[in-house]
Amino acid sequence: MLGMGRAGIKRSHCPDFYSTYHHLRSDSASAMTSKQVPHFQAENPMKSAQLFMTKGTGAMSYAENSNWHAMCMEKIWPTVLELVDSMKLPDDDMSIITIADLGCAPGRNTINNVETVLKRVKERYRNGHIPEFQAFFQDLYDTDFNTLFQLFKNSVATIAENVPETLKYFPAGVPGSFYGRVFPRSSVHFVMSTFALHWISKVPSSVLDKTSEDYNGGKIEHERASRATIDAYARQGDVDLRNFLDARVEEMATGGLMLLVFGVRKVYYPYCNTMVNEVKERIWDELVSEGKVDSGLRGSFNNFMHFHYLKDVEQILNSYSEKLIVEKEYVFPFFLYPQNMTAREKAARHASLNRGLYTSMLEDHFGEDITNLYIARYEQALLEGFESGTLTEDETNTYQFVAIVARKL
């Protein structure tokens, strides 16, 4: 068991994660694509959209475009599984052991993640009675659970008759928001959430309020956002993270483990310096000045993917030190393409990532024609920028990911 002090967070910039980074930089152009449709809640006066990964199993689907997440997880697992070995488990024969994945999305990743934990826990029962296992796959109401459930047909470890006892488990889908309670109290032994907690629950209402200093009118991304706007997002992010932790503290069994992997930034303000996002804003500027997009419509649209400021995350976790002990914390870089990619490949990768993340949300707000026009111009501008050398990526000052393993006291 890796015993740690109560309140202290152990951060390690793990060498493994840097090798992940180099490994991933040589990954194929399609690896980063996922389609996420952020959820505009009632605060948005003009439109409402839902957050869900691209449905189905087609070329743009989340199921087919999430191997980047899986590769990151491969590097994380060895350490997490060591901690799983030290997880407190029920010792009576009739117990049921529960694993939950929050923000699971309709893809293979969640099944692989759950089964990785399941297999490791079952190893502890090799010489005795094996308890029954249930696994909960949790995501927002509009998630394509049908596609997810179809994937279980090919899963080795569900309750099918030909599956050995050592792999069986009972899967179930759980719709709802992980920013509130989704399970009964003290019922979950291992809970994880990977690449999901950087979607905050809503765009802060003040960001959409023209009378507020937080108003982010005329901007969509956070690059040009004022300090007041970023503060508003950060406040919402902090509230969400606390709501998430409050719910998990209730739901986790004592001695249980929680694995969280999500986006963070290391500079509080300016939010980050991604030139490609600035290109996006420039294209929206053009579309407005050409009269193709109404400025009010653009003003009412804000990204609600918010990468938390790492120090805020650590501070919040520290405030839970009576209930949760952080066993491990790793930070690893976010990146978009291997260095040896051509300008065209880089442009295609960015455009494809952008399509995967935002197409449905943009279509919902601006319509299909404007969305197609915007994406085509974006890809063209990136191509020209990369070819001329005017566009570069400063990866050291952009996004990162953090992986945190915490134990319920």
Ligand X SMILES: C[S@@+](CC[C@H](N)C(=O)[O-])C[C@H]1O[C@@H](n2cnc3c(N)ncnc32)[C@H](O)[C@@H]1O
Query: Binding marks (x or -) toward ligand X, 132..171, rule CB under 6 A?
Result: -------xx--x----------------------------
Q: Decide: is 382 part of the binding site for ligand X (CB under 6 A).
A: no
* Residue selected from 195, 301, 335, 337 as contacting ligand X according to rule CB under 6 A: 195
Beta strands in 108-199 (DSSP E): 132-139, 170-175, 188-194
| Rounded-to-integer distance, Cα 113 and Cα 78, Å | 12
- Told to check if 66 binds ligand X by CB under 6 A, we report yes
Number of neighbouring beta carbons within 10 Å of residue 308: 23
Interface residues for ligand X in 281-340 (CB under 6 A)?
none
Question: Binding residue for ligand X (CB under 6 A) from 76, 79, 100, 107?
Answer: 107
Beta bridge partners of 328: 405
E strand map for 46-178: 96-102, 132-139, 170-175
Contact track, ligand X, 69-88, x by CB under 6 A = x-------------------
Phi and psi of 385, rounded to 5°? -65, -45
Would you mind telling me the total number of residues written for the chain in this entry?
409
Residue 108 CB coordination number (10 Å): 18
- How many angstroms separate the CA atoms of 273 and 259, rounded? 29
Radius of gyration of the chain (CA): 21
Burial class (CB in 10 A: 0-12, 13-18, 19+), 127: exposed
The residue type found at 385 is G
**Among positions 169, 179, 271, 332, the unique one binding ligand X when judged by CB under 6 A:** 179
- Nearest residue relative to ligand X (C-beta): 103
DSSP code at position 130: P
Tokens linked to 121: 């826990």
Is residue 356 within 8 Å of 40, Cβ to Cβ? no
Q: Does 256 bind ligand X (CB under 6 A)?
A: no
Stretch of 25-33, 175-183, 230-238, 285-293 contacting ligand X, by CB under 6 A = 175-183
Which CB sits closer to ligand X, 53 or 257? 53
103 is a contact residue toward ligand X (CB under 6 A): yes
* Shortest spacing between CB 188 and ligand X, in angstroms: 15
CB-nearer residue toward ligand X: 148 or 287:
148
* Residue 196 binds ligand X, judged by CB under 6 A: yes
Q: Is 51 in the site for ligand X (CB under 6 A)?
A: yes
Pairing of strands 96-102, 132-139: parallel
Residue 399 in the binding site for ligand X (CB under 6 A): no
Distance separating alpha carbons of residues 399 and 310, to the nearest angstrom: 10
Q: How many residues bind ligand X (CB under 6 A)?
A: 25
Judged on CB neighbours under 10 Å (0-12, 13-18, 19+), 43 is: middle
Nearest residue (CB) to ligand X, 53 versus 83? 53
Strand 188-194 and strand 252-265: the pairing is parallel
Which residue in the set 20, 34, 116, 277 belongs to the binding site for ligand X (CB under 6 A)?
A: 34
For residue 375, state whether it binds ligand X (rule: CB under 6 A): no
Asked if 271 is part of the footprint of ligand X (rule: CB under 6 A), the reply reads: no
Q: Least distance (Å) from ligand X to the CB of residue 31?
A: 12
Q: Are strands 324-333 and 399-408 parallel, antiparallel or unpaired?
A: antiparallel
Minimum separation from the CB atom of position 38 to ligand X (A) = 9
> Closest Cα to residue 399, out of 276, 217, 280?
276
Q: Kindly tell me which of 7 and 316 has the beta carbon lying closer to ligand X.
A: 316
Which of these segments, 21-29, 46-54, 279-287, 340-348, binds ligand X (CB under 6 A)?
A: 46-54
Residue 359 found at the interface with ligand X (CB under 6 A):
no
Stretch that binds ligand X, among 104-112, 147-155, 310-318, 342-350 (CB under 6 A): 104-112
CA distance 134 to 96: 7
Q: Mark the segment that binds ligand X (CB under 6 A) among 10-18, 101-109, 118-126, 399-407.
A: 101-109
For ligand X, the closer of residues 195 and 334 by Cβ is 195
What are the residues binding ligand X (CB under 6 A)?
Answer: 34, 36, 51-53, 66, 69, 102-105, 107, 109-110, 139-140, 143, 177-179, 194-196, 199, 201
